[in-house]
Amino acid sequence: MSDYKVIGHSVQKLDAVEKVLGVAKYAADIQFPGMIYGKTLRSKVAHGVLLSVDTGKAKALPGVVSVLTGDDIPGSNSSGIIIKDEPVLVKNGQKIRKIGDPIALVAAETEEIAEQALRLIEVKVDELPAVFDPVAAMKDDAPKIYEKGNVLAVRKIRRGDVEKAFAECAVIVEQDYQTQMAEHAYIEPEAGVAKLDGDIVTVWVCTQNPHYDAKEIARNLNIGLNRVRVIQATTGGGFGGKLDVSVQVHLGLLAVATRRPVKMIYSRHESIANSVKRHPFIMKLKSGSDANGKLLAFEASIIGDTGAYASYGPGTLTRSAVHVMGPYEVPNVKVDAYTVYTNNPQAGAMRGFGVPQVAFAHESQMDILAEKLGVSPLKIRLINALRPGSFTGTGTELKDSVGIVETLEAATAGAKKTMELNW
Amino acid sequence: MKKRGIGMASMWYGIGNTGLPNPAGAYVDLLDDGTVLVLTGCADIGQGSTTALAQIAAEELGVKIGDVRVVSADTGVTPDAGASSASRQTYISGNAVRMAAQQAKSVIVEAAAEALGVGVADIVAADRMLTVRTQSDKSKDLVDCQAECQIALGLTPGTDAKSISIVDCIAKCRAKGKLSLGHGWFNPDTTGLDMETGQGRPYATYAYATQVVEVEVDTETGVVDVIQIVAAHDVGKAIHPQNVEGQIEGGCAIGLGYALMEEVQVKQGNVATANFTTYVLPTSLDVPPIQSIIVEDPAVTGPFGAKGVGEPALIPTAAAIANAVYNAVGVRITDLPITADKVLAKLQLQG
């Protein structure tokens, strides 16, 4: 059945008209009578223990409706997609692990009053030595960000006998690579509104996963999941950066505490400074082939700086370990991928999830290998490309829809139309 | 002097979470007037999932795209569809919506089969009609069998009613007290990865891509200018080709920024680039012509063969640019981003 009536047709997108007319409602556009505004007080130190938070002056400021600290959380004071290691609000006696950790929330009649109140909160912190380099963080004598150590996860791939296979290789390419921390830069900074409807907490928010948000709100507010309603507001991009909780739980806490509708909008600065980032990677790759260019062995180590909290870190490093040999069949594989805590901003999901980093490395390797062998970049890839029946590094047999060879051919043919390509 | 070079890079990308269950659910309600409500937890963040899911429901039910309304990402009324991440929603929620649509459709197809005197397998849904499959759609044996049945029933083969509108069929169902509702959920066929060897089945299907990039490098300044990008992506089946092209173009722009300019600088834990004057993004002036090529190698388990494209779109770009820079001036940069300073320093080392 190839004669589809709707599939494969570029129909008008269902949200096109409202966006083009500018009538789509983003969270910042949502208004309710009596609505107040929330702001977050954040840590200025990267590593320490919170000794005290004095909210007296802030609470006394006219126009301030509520000031909340870590003592005011009815349920669990933790959140996180994979590991619940992030504090909702750092509590007295608890650890601060990065600049920007939330310490207190203010709700006030206007945004300006809320910001003024933040400046009146007095915080005392016992500062601890910090570590910002993931390689240093892995050493035994590094400052411990967590009791159990700074290496959060190690993902190993083992297939065949790498040592034996490298000994049989005609050509070996060994190279170190590094990639930088990157920002999603979605056009809409984080924003949301919360409101009580009877005993239901409703939160409108820009998000990539409303059901996850609802679960976190229920845990932190200690209410039934069926009493939380998260409605995704029209969302101005995410690219992985709106998978983590930003304003959701804070909004819920303030709405319950004040019983008034409450809105939070991050400035661009607050968004970039506190949202998750693309993991910077430190990689070492070793690829070996026979004299014809057929890959025989591949070895890699990857260190990903996940910053102060796990977020999607272990998932990112696992995905990078699975993909680091590229779309090629290699019978002997050894990979070690480390997710490492530092006192840097936390890294999490970002479009590509660890694969853009490793693709930069494995594709550089393929070109270096091709040059050593005197074959074209196209040929080295065609020799090694996965095909139906190939086995991946995880020992998975690929059966259908293995289109890598078709993309190599299509891209080359496309390039020949407009480039002087001599492959 | 300005020197040009061409670079190629490929990628693969497993669709969905790695070696973990990551199901999605959906509800479909085929309403009295033949319009359709799709309830899905899937968050459309601009990538176009709402439109793609509506297309899948419309195709399966045989209605027009304008007949479908999608209510999405509201935990008060929609089922959990998991995250809009891992390039998973077209594949996973797409399957869930299709299954929900099939269940709703089965109620009206049964009524149509009864009204038209054929088996349910002989009914196809398209253009708001339920129609008996034409000869070209089915094997000759089936046609002969149908003709035999019709003769046995005293009918003239080939001259009886061949179709009924979906609305009429729904009315027949309602007259008997039958609602045309469906729910579906889909979880990709994966296994966990062994902790010591990483062996297992992390994904049910993979997307693939190859990009070819032409750059121009200024040997006096080290500045790299991307001249053009050709991007071929195997998406299984493009549900909405223009949207796939949009994803590819947007991905190339992000990949270009990642390759050449974007870097969050952190000093002692403090983000030193927390605004757009210091965190430099590509603009329309930086993004070159992009030739998007959609390759369709259908996935057996995908809805209408679809896989995903959201993340694959950007993955090869930085690598292809790095290889093109080497091809242009013989300088291999092994740490991103490929700034003019780094290129110039290596060019000067070459002498």
State which of B185, B220, B252 marks the end of a domain.
B185
* Cβ neighbours of B272 in A, within 8 Å: none
And the tokens for A261?
Answer: 């509708």
8 Å CB contact between B325 and B217: yes
Q: What is the pLDDT of residues B229-267, one digit of tens each?
A: 999 999 999 999 999 999 999 999 999 999 999 999 999
> Which residues does residue A328 pair with via DSSP β-bridges, in sequence order?
A385
CB-based contact, B231 to chain A, within 8 Å: yes
8 Å CB contact between A223 and A264: no
Shortest distance, CA B191 to any CA of chain A (angstroms): 10
For B199, which of A394, A407, A412 is closest by C-beta distance? A394
- The closest alpha carbon to B131, from B168, B178, B181, B177, belongs to B168
What is the crossing angle of helices B89-116 and B166-175, to 10°? 70
Predicted confidence at residue B351, as pLDDT, reads 76
Shortest distance, CA A110 to any CA of chain B (angstroms): 24
How far apart are the C-alpha atoms of A345 and A362, rounded to whole Å? 27
How far apart are the C-alpha atoms of A251 and A264, rounded to whole Å? 7
Helix/strand/coil for A94: coil
Count interface pairs A-B at CB distance under 8 A: 373
State the best of A13, A200, A303, A379 to mutate against chain B, taking most chain B CBs within 10 Å.
Answer: A13
* Cβ neighbours of B211 in A, within 8 Å: 411
Q: What is the pLDDT of residues A207-220, one digit of tens each?
A: 999 999 999 999 99
Helix/strand/coil for B350: helix
Torsion sign across C-alpha atoms B39, B42, B45, B47: negative
Helix/strand/coil for A135: helix
How far apart are the C-alpha atoms of B105 and B99, rounded to whole Å? 10
Regarding whether B149 and B46 lie in a shared domain, the answer is: yes
Torsion sign across C-alpha atoms A364, A370, A375, A381: negative
Regarding whether B176 and B118 lie in a shared domain, the answer is: yes
CB-based contact, B101 to chain A, within 8 Å: no
- Enumerate residues 6+ apart whose C-beta is below 8 A from B161: B115, B116
Regarding whether B52 and B7 lie in a shared domain, the answer is: no
Regarding whether B214 and B179 lie in a shared domain, the answer is: no
- Enumerate residues 6+ apart whose C-beta is below 8 A from A293: A171, A369, A370, A373, A375, A379, A380, A383, A384
And the tokens for A17?
Answer: 């008209």
Helix/strand/coil for A37: strand
Regarding whether B114 and B91 lie in a shared domain, the answer is: yes
For residue B77, give the chain A residue with the closest CA: A229
> Which residues does residue A182 pair with via DSSP β-bridges, in sequence order?
A278
For A352, which of B18, B206, B315 is closest by C-beta distance? B315
And the tokens for B125?
Answer: 């849904």
Q: HSE (CB half, 13 Å, CA atoms) of A288?
A: 20
What ipTM was predicted for this assembly? Answer: 0.97
DSSP structural state of residue A394: T
For A132, which of B269, B275, B302 is closest by C-beta distance? B269
Which range of residues forms the domain containing residue B61?
A: 24-185
State the best of A199, A232, A325 to mutate against chain B, taking most chain B CBs within 10 Å.
Answer: A232
Does residue B122 fall inside a structural domain? yes
Instruction: Label residue A422 by pLDDT band (50, 70, 90).
Output: confident
Stretch A271-293: mean pLDDT: 98
For A318, which of B18, B45, B205 is closest by C-beta distance? B18
How far apart are the C-alpha atoms of B313 and B317, rounded to whole Å? 8
Beta carbons within 10 angstroms of residue A39's beta carbon:
24
Q: Report which residue type is found at A317.
A: L
Determine which helix (DSSP H) or strand (DSSP E) holds B242, and give its type and residue range: helix B241-260
DSSP string, B178-235: ---EEEEEE-----PPPTTT--S---S-EEEEEEEEEEEEETTT--EEEEEEEEEEE-
CATH number of the domain bearing residue B252: 3.30.365.10
Domains present along chain A, CATH in parentheses: 34-128+184-274 (3.90.1170.50), 135-182+277-418 (3.30.365.10)
pLDDT surpasses 50 at A1: no
How far apart are the C-alpha atoms of B113 and A108, rounded to whole Å? 64
Does residue B114 fall inside a structural domain? yes
Name residues of chain B where pLDDT drops below 50.
159
Catalytic residue, candidates B59, B214, B245, B311: B311
Annotation marks residue B216 as catalytic: no
Q: What are phi and psi of B267, to 5 degrees?
A: -115, 115
Does residue B48 fall inside a structural domain? yes
Beta carbons within 10 angstroms of residue B239's beta carbon:
32
- The closest alpha carbon to B187, from B13, B17, B12, belongs to B17
- The closest alpha carbon to A243, from B45, B271, B326, belongs to B45
How far apart are the C-alpha atoms of B11 and A328, rounded to whole Å? 9
pLDDT surpasses 90 at A241: yes
* Cβ neighbours of B90 in A, within 8 Å: none
Predicted confidence at residue B136, as pLDDT, reads 57
How far apart are the C-alpha atoms of B243 and B178, rounded to whole Å? 37
And the tokens for B49?
Answer: 């999932």
Predicted confidence at residue A386, as pLDDT, reads 98
State which of B128, B155, B185 marks the end of a domain.
B185
Regarding whether B173 and B34 lie in a shared domain, the answer is: yes
Does residue B251 fall inside a structural domain? yes
Cis amide leading into B337 (omega within 30): yes
CB contact under 8 A, B255 and A212: no
CB contact under 8 A, A398 and B54: no
Q: What are phi and psi of A64, to 5 degrees?
A: -80, 130
Regarding whether B273 and B156 lie in a shared domain, the answer is: no
Does residue B193 fall inside a structural domain? no
Predicted confidence at residue A81, as pLDDT, reads 97
Does residue B60 fall inside a structural domain? yes
Regarding whether B28 and B12 lie in a shared domain, the answer is: no
State which of B154, B185, B216 marks the end of a domain.
B185
The 3-class secondary structure across A99-116, one letter per residue, is: CCCEEEEEEECCHHHHHH
Q: pTM (2 decimals)? A: 0.96
- The closest alpha carbon to A299, from A283, A281, A312, belongs to A283
Q: What is the pLDDT of residues A157-192, one digit of tens each?
A: 999 999 999 999 999 999 999 999 999 999 999 999
How far apart are the C-alpha atoms of A380 and A373, rounded to whole Å? 9
Shortest distance, CA A52 to any CA of chain B (angstroms): 22
Regarding whether B169 and B87 lie in a shared domain, the answer is: yes
Shortest distance, CA B178 to any CA of chain A (angstroms): 27
8 Å CB contact between A51 and A125: yes
Q: What is the pLDDT of residues A377-391, one digit of tens each?
A: 999 999 999 999 999
How far apart are the C-alpha atoms of A70 and A93, rounded to whole Å? 10
pLDDT surpasses 90 at A423: no
pLDDT surpasses 90 at A7: yes
Label residue A92 exposed, middle or buried (CB < 10 Å: 0-12, 13-18, 19+). middle
Predicted confidence at residue B51, as pLDDT, reads 98
Number of structural domains chain B divides into: 2
Q: What is the pLDDT of residues A319-355, one digit of tens each?
A: 999 999 999 999 999 999 999 999 999 999 999 999 9
8 Å CB contact between B302 and B308: no
Does residue B194 fall inside a structural domain? no
Does residue B219 fall inside a structural domain? yes
Predicted confidence at residue B252, as pLDDT, reads 98
- Enumerate residues 6+ apart whose C-beta is below 8 A from B234: A401, A403, A404, A406, A407, B207, B208, B209, B295, B296, B297, B307
Predicted confidence at residue A255, as pLDDT, reads 98
CA distances to A417, B134, B149, B158 from B155, rounded to whole Å, are 60, 18, 9, 9
* Cβ neighbours of B269 in A, within 8 Å: 46-47, 98-99, 130, 132, 343-345
Q: What is the pLDDT of residues A94-124, one digit of tens each?
A: 999 999 999 999 999 999 999 999 999 999 9
Q: What are phi and psi of B97, to 5 degrees?
A: -65, -40
Shortest distance, CA B154 to any CA of chain A (angstroms): 32
Degrees to nearest 5, angle at CA A43 with B264 and A82 = 65
Regarding whether B130 and B103 lie in a shared domain, the answer is: yes
Regarding whether B165 and B40 lie in a shared domain, the answer is: yes
Chain centroid offset of residue A396 CA = 26
Regarding whether B217 and B133 lie in a shared domain, the answer is: no
